[in-house]
Chains A and B, each alone.
Chain A
Amino acid sequence: MVIHDTVFVIWLLAAGPLWAAIGLFLLPSVNQGRAESEQISITTLQIAGVIGGFALGPVGVGLFYFEPALIRRTTLTAGVAITVFVSSQVLARIVDPNLPSGLWLLLAGPLWAAVAAFILPRQYRAVEANDQNVLTAAALGGFAIGPIIIGLMWKHTPKISRDWMIVLGSLGAWQIYTLFAIHNTTNPCVASPYHITYLTQQTANGVVIGAIYSLMAVGLTLIYSVQGIVSFAHGQLYMVGGYFSFYFLLHGSNILSDITGAEISINPIWGIPVAAIIVFVMGAVFERIFLKPMHEGLIERVSEYAILITFGFGFFIEYTTLAIAGPFPQRTDRFIEIRRFTLQRAQITDDFAFGPINIIGDRAFAMVVGIILIFALLYFLQRTWTGRALRATSQDRQAAAVTGINPTNMNTLSFGMGSMLAAMSGAALIPIFAWVPWVGAEMVGRSYVIVVLGGLGSVPGALLGGVIVGIVEALGAGCHPDPSRGAAYKEAFALVIFALVLLLKPTGLFGREQT
């Protein structure tokens, strides 16, 4: 079914101006209860609210509301990204595609990167300036703008902050994109008449799937932040959540049909809370029996034990499910009967058209479910006593215990909730993907990337990390110069970003230093 474009435009408007207005009025309240030194100017908050709300709707407003620390850097990154994109578009139109690449090599490129990386750290040490991050910044800057950055850094030897890295990294990306735009004339990301539409389509694909990735990763990060362990059963809990939903819907529908005498099909949305409850109990019981002794000092090699016991738990779940459910793929009915949302093509000017953009209906629904659940979790963690107790335990177990919080119960709660989030993610995705007992393997690998990218222990980091991974995978597969390789390297693109973030910020985007 194709939704009429006006319906979709109304939806877009709701995500755009409406959410910009909500952000405008909501974000200034962030300053309430904060120390004066930590307050952010009202103008900055209002700008962030408008931009975040307009661009990302509830995601942008929610992220800034719960993590105000993101505002400055995100706004900076968005500003640089927009500048990079616009200037690339302009350059792609005015630069002759036949211009020899040698000119670029003279003005910037790998040669200048090598020169900068060689001489600038020496100059910093010679004048006894702080040379932290100089090597990376020099390489990035030399690649992007060649002698200009070398001259600037040589003369002023500025301290290289993260903002510097963002700007220089973006300039490097700008170089690559511009070269791509000039020379790869058949690539749909830069060259086709509808490449703006295509980029929007791929970004939308990435945001939709990324938000779904996030929900699973959030559970993993919650367990890590409180217990300090990585659950190797997370993929299997995700898988079994899908199966609990499947069997609940199957048998529930049969029972209701038998009772009423009419054909009744339960919507898969109801499978999500059912899977959540069952897997929460599973996770909590597992934690009580197998992980509690670890926190009570009864286990000698805690790290190895945690890996082995969660790995064993996952193994047990997977093969038990295989024995019960069999190897044949399953899938539930749709959430909604709309196969895809389509923004029809619109002719904006004589030579510029936008659209069509397609989003699969069930994915859009699962994305909304995922975002709602993540913000519900954020609300729980930030605004309720139990949530604050969980956060307190994650920061300092002993101090939390002194204030009357029972860390043992918090451990159980965190593992139960982490497992529950994985299961809800599975129950949200079983209407979308063919479900088999080993379906968690690919997803959990990606979750590890997301939580490390976002910062181990950070819920907003997991959300943003998921969206970044989704977008990078979509754009990587969609823009790779060789279409035959783009899809095969999909997972590798996210790993490149992952490696870059670890190189520039080893704690991840929002991770805190271990104390």
Chain B
Amino acid sequence: MKRRTTFLCLIATLAMIALLPLGAVQADGHCEFANYTITIGGLAPLSAPGAVAGGVAMDWAFNQAADDINADCGVQIDGVNYQIDVVTGDSEGSPERGQAVTERLIQEDEVDAMVGVYHSAVGLATMGMLEANAIPTVFSEPWNDNVSANGIREFDGAPPRFEDGIDHIFRISPASSMVGSVIVDWLLSLGVDDVVLIVENTDYGQPAAADEAARFEAGGATVSKIDVELGTEDFVPILSRIQARAEAPDVIRILVTGETSFNLTQQMAELGIAPSDDTICVTNQFAFQSDQYWATVPDGNFCAFNRVGIIPSLFSDAAVELNAKYEEAWGDIIPSFAMASYDAVHIVADAMERAGSYSDAAAIVAAIEATDIDLSQGRYYFEYGAHNPELPEGTPAFMWHQWPDPIVTVMQYYEPGQSGLDAAVIYPEVYQTHGTAYIAPGTSP
């Protein structure tokens, strides 16, 4: 009898523990939460052919942001604390898959807002659905100019700014044109006049190359463009073609992402094409992840690369703390798109608090437009939107709902195995860390 009573007590205790999360009010340390959890959808490439390394870092950042927000008592609306949960969907880097996952997040998971997106093609493909379903969205990595330009352009035949005049898409990553202008200005300032662009065949690579080519040509340089497919491993035939030119190019600019860019950069260095005395190597922002870079591009010393996001020497306390957490999890420096993804979740949570609602899309969008918050990448705000709809003459359309201040710099390694945190910032001049705009191979700053 006694044994049976003990058994029943044990069962009852276990049942109470199991049912505890279903209670009307949950207790989590010092915070009390409402029984509704705000669901934010995250979209990131978590499997091939997408950029999985990027997607995994973004997924980590979403969840880290949710953890940090929840640890700070979640989103406070009308005096009630709501926990946040980020549900990440795997876009696989494919527009079709991205649409299917977005549909699932909207219809089945009933997300209150969306963040993320790595590949521009996925961003462009899902924008129409997000608009049609009135989901406030903060994109953290797609670069295609048309992502944020949608606010004042027609997309898929839909009228601009649906019904009540709001546009739900925001972007805190830079537009390709913003990155391209910095790279081109830097190279033209070095006097280059013969440029080879090696470009991935994607919605990121092609428009970015077209923009940079136009800028180079406007600056008097000649441009040769070579298209490659993502996933290609062997670039030696096409690099041999560059090597066979009568004159070596002044610069080879790589507009290719992921491990494909690592293979390309390494083979270029192995063949002695660039970096060399004749040719500057400009690889992509992935090079900032120095552990990955040196593991796969051991001959890549003296390559320059574009860096999006705040430079290491200007890291705020929040950025340092976030970087430490990332290094603990992954053993490498935090990439800018992980910082942006982390910040995107915070921007949404902050807007919901100010809007006083997690479900009123119009109020949340208006709150995001009025954002003024310091996060890991700096101060976020949106200059143009429904709150300030007139874009002055000459302002590009992509500035609509676009964070205007993503810092774009050019960095360069000058020692093998160097940490990305120690690489030299060489452009723009205002951020230069070593007083030079280029470190020639074989020299030190």
Contacts and interface: CB of A to CB of B under 8 A. Distances in A.
Nearest to B293: A329
A206 B285 CA distance: 31
Nearest to B246: A192
A360 B271 contact: yes
Contact of A360 (B236, B259, B332): B236
Contact of A194 (B53, B244, B263, B332): B244
A433 B226 CA distance: 21
The listed residue with most A CB atoms (<10 A of its CB), out of B52, B229, B238, is B238
A442 B263 CA distance: 14
B227 A485 contact: yes
Contacts of B229: 487-488, 490-491
B296 A442 contact: no
Interface stretch (A293-301, A448-456, A473-481): A473-481
A473 B236 CA distance: 11
B324 to A, nearest CB: 19
A485 B229 CA distance: 10
B243 A441 contact: no
A478 B201 contact: no
Contacts of A473: 234, 237
B56 interface: yes
A440 B339 CA distance: 31
Interface in A292-331: 322, 326-331
B45 to A, nearest CB: 10
A188 interface: yes
B343 to A, nearest CB: 22
Given A484-B225, A486-B241, A442 B295 contact: no
A483 B226 contact: yes
B48 A488 contact: no
Contacts of B298: 331, 334
Interface residues of A, number: 47
Interface string B209-229: 000000000000000111111
Given A201-B244, A327-B53, A486 B231 contact: no
Contacts of B272: 339-340, 358
B259 A434 contact: yes
B299 interface: yes
B49 interface: yes
Contacts of A175: none
For A434, A442, A474, the residue with the greatest tally of chain B CB atoms inside 10 Å of its CB is A434
Nearest to B46: A327
Contact of B52 (A436, A474, A477, A490): A436
B418 interface: no
A205 interface: yes
Contacts of A487: 198, 226-229, 232, 235, 237-238
A205 B236 contact: yes
Contacts of A358: 240, 243, 271-272
A433 B262 CA distance: 9
A209 interface: yes
Contacts of A112: none
Interface string A347-371: 0000000000010110100000000
Contacts of B173: none
B277 interface: no
A438 B231 CA distance: 9
B233 interface: yes
Contacts of A442: 231-233
B233 A433 contact: yes
A436 B299 CA distance: 19
Given A442-B231, A487-B227, A328 B244 contact: no
A202 interface: yes
A436 B56 contact: no
Given A188-B244, A340-B272, A442-B233, A488 B201 contact: yes
A209 B232 CA distance: 13
B267 interface: yes
A198 interface: yes
Interface string B23-64: 000000000000000000000000111001101100000000
A433 B245 CA distance: 26
A333 B286 CA distance: 21
B237 A474 contact: yes
Given A205-B237, A474-B236, A488 B56 contact: no
B270 interface: yes
A322 B238 contact: no
A437 B55 CA distance: 14
B316 interface: no
A201 B240 contact: yes
Given A192-B246, A358-B271, A484-B224, A433 B295 contact: no
Interface in A456-486: 473-478, 483-486
B432 interface: no
B53 A198 contact: no
B70 interface: no
Nearest to B269: A339
Nearest to A362: B270
A176 B227 CA distance: 25
Interface string A184-219: 000010001010011001100110010000000000
B237 A331 contact: no
B292 interface: yes
A15 to B, nearest CB: 20
B244 A490 contact: no
A124 B237 CA distance: 45
Contacts of A197: 244
Contact of B270 (A340, A474, A477, A491): A340
Given A329-B296, A360-B270, A434-B263, A198 B52 contact: no
B195 to A, nearest CB: 13
A482 to B, nearest CB: 10
Interface string B318-330: 0000000000001
Nearest to A357: B240
Contact of A329 (B56, B228, B241, B259): B259
A13 B289 CA distance: 45
A232 to B, nearest CB: 16
Nearest to B261: A434
Contact of A484 (B227, B262, B270, B330): B227
Nearest to A212: B234
A437 B240 CA distance: 28
Interface string B240-259: 11011110000000000001
A476 B238 CA distance: 10
Given A329-B296, A486-B226, A488-B229, 15 more contacts: A326-B56, A327-B52, A327-B53, A328-B292, A334-B298, A340-B270, A358-B240, A360-B270, A434-B296, A436-B259, A438-B47, A441-B49, A477-B241, A478-B237, A485-B227
Interface of B: 47-49, 52-53, 55-56, 198, 201, 224-229, 231-238, 240-241, 243-246, 259, 262-263, 266-267, 270-272, 289, 291-292, 295-296, 298-299, 330, 332
21 contacts: A205-B237, A205-B240, A322-B47, A328-B292, A329-B295, A331-B298, A339-B272, A340-B271, A340-B272, A360-B267, A434-B266, A437-B52, A438-B48, A438-B52, A439-B233, A483-B224, A485-B227, A486-B237, A487-B227, A487-B238, A490-B237
Enumerate the 10 nearest inter-chain pairs by beta-carbon distance, A residue then B residue, closest first: A438-B48, A327-B52, A477-B237, A487-B238, A434-B296, A434-B259, A329-B259, A474-B237, A488-B227, A434-B262
